[in-house]
Amino acid sequence: MALARYYFDVRSNDRLFSDTEGTWLAGGMDAVRTEAFSALTDYAREVTPTIIRRRLSVEVRDEHRQPLLKAVLVLVIEVLASDDPEPPNH
């Protein structure tokens, strides 16, 4: 299989981190999907647990910088119970 260059831009909420170097992959869209998924899981591990909501995406462009694929992961922490004592009644 021939190698092709793909650019994997990462977006965290509204902040975009552009890939200026690209990654050479063989395997077409299957390889692109695998790489995008891997990148998402790597970035998800770096999210601070104190963050309540984070939207991560990997936006993939081809060698002509045309959009090919977007993988999105939304992390939400919902506090259902608290260890904090209830406030005293006044």
**Domain ranges in the chain?**
4-76
pLDDT above 60 for 90: no
How many other β-carbons are positioned within 10 Å of the β-carbon of residue 43? 19
Q: Read off the pLDDT of each residue in 24-31 and give the average, rounded to a whole number.
A: 95
Q: What is residue 80's predicted lDDT score, i.e. its pLDDT?
A: 87
Q: What is residue 4's predicted lDDT score, i.e. its pLDDT?
A: 96
Q: What is residue 1's predicted lDDT score, i.e. its pLDDT?
A: 73
CB under 8 Å to 37, separation ≥6 — which residues?
71
| Closest by Cα among 58, 42, 43 to 8 | 58
Q: What is residue 8's predicted lDDT score, i.e. its pLDDT?
A: 97
Q: Read off the pLDDT of each residue in 17-32 and give the average, rounded to a whole number.
A: 95
